Amino acid sequence: MGVRQLSEGEGLWAELRSLPRAAWVLFLGIFLNRFGTFVIPFLTLYMKRNGYTLTDAGIAIGAYGAGTFFASFFGGYLADHIGRRKTIALSMFGGALTMLLLSGASSKWAIILITALNGMTGELYRPASSALLADLVPSGQRIIAFSAYRMSLNAGWAFGPATAGFLANRSFLWLFAGDALTSILFGIVAWFALPHGVRSSTAESGWGPAVRSIRQNRDFIQLLAASIFIAFIFYQISSTYSLFVTDLGYTPETYGALISFNGFVVVCLELLVSNYTRRFDPRRAIALGYCLAGLGFGLNAFVTEIPWLALGVFILTIGEMSSIPVAAAYIANVAPANMRGRYMGAHGLTWALTLTFAPALGMILYSKGPQYLWLSCALSGVIGATIMLGRFGGERK
């Protein structure tokens, strides 16, 4: 008898089963942490409910972005210097502490300062977790591995915001406590069950050697430039989009359900989408995803009913699934093994830099009219895609 050929679906699941145990432990920790991301998506509503202005809320979210900027910088360094596991644990325990401090903050400037500290501590883990996954998985499996990573993240995202919306209607204190608890759980998982991963020598672990390497990698720099425009779109989800939904007359629970729908679609479809898009040139897959993300939120300029809002989220999510895991695998493949933490950190720095101005800029555009904001999102997607498809000289790495 001949050997039965595996179908495409069977091959995908066999590939998932072949991922190392440590990768699955990481996925579990990511799920726990993302499920408990209660506070930041609702920070705008929390501050508005407590009498602060939209400008104050925009500054607070921008402060979180400033914190993530430093988190990407130090997180990339620590991931390569002390190891991935220790960096993840440090991030989770630090994030839990600052979240508890934020729950007791009352003045505007205390909220802004502690939000920045929470962004710095709570996001240290990102370069380390991405670098660890790249350490554990060979290049040919990285798109699927990063898709599974994001599936875990979005499984938490699918249930977390809906739970947070339910809690927010009763007491915001529950949001802070739940957020801190899930961070502590991930920290425990990381400390006892994850490996250190690849580390650099002391002489090579600084940012100087990494910057020299990055400056010579034109393809990576192009990805960083394009990321600014796509990040602008995605950061509206946790800032202006909540106002848009509630200003249409819907409840915070409706907003929570819509962004949970984003996570639900990712959980259901991302592995299948990634299994398809990995056949193509990564630049083209990323560019297509950016265009779709812009189209999804651009649709908000013309709609007000829940089915149409959900369609916009669905289109944006298809764009997200087509681009984000491919971009992560792309970075892992072009980065030297002993610099993966800092390459991932550089990518995170770009997103963090965008977070420092995207919510405030979004608020300004939204105050002039929601259509200005959503059409700007559509344009941003096109610009990001154009950058990814461009060629600016030099050989590809």
| DSSP, res 203 | G
Distance CA 57, CA 358 (A): 12
Distance of alpha carbon 230 from the chain centroid? 11
Distance CA 38, CA 164 (A): 5
Give every CB contact of residue 179 below 8 A, 6+ residues apart in sequence.
36, 37, 38, 39, 96, 99
Give me the phi and psi of 172, to 5 degrees please. Answer: -70, -20
Distance CA 296, CA 294 (A): 5
- Kindly state the tokens that stand for 188: 């425990």
> What is the tens place of the pLDDT at every residue in 268-307?
898 888 888 888 888 999 999 999 999 999 999 999 899 9
Q: How much of the chain exceeds pLDDT 90, in percent?
A: 32
Nearest Cα residue to 50 out of 125, 107, 132: 107
Torsional sign, CA 128, 133, 138, 141: negative
Class of domain 20-389 (CATH, top level) = mainly alpha
Give me the phi and psi of 195, to 5 degrees please. Answer: -80, 165
> What is the tens place of the pLDDT at every residue in 246-262?
889 888 888 888 887 88
Distance CA 352, CA 347 (A): 9
Whether pLDDT at 41 is above 50:
yes
Confidence of residue 385 (pLDDT cuts 50, 70, 90): very high
Whether pLDDT at 9 is above 60:
no
> What is the tens place of the pLDDT at every residue in 144-159?
899 899 888 878 776 7
Distance CA 246, CA 176 (A): 22
In the predicted model, what is the mean pLDDT of the chain? 85
Residue ranges per domain, the chain?
20-389
Nearest Cα residue to 159 out of 23, 266, 300: 266
Whether pLDDT at 365 is above 90:
yes
Distance CA 171, CA 358 (A): 28
| DSSP, res 302 | T
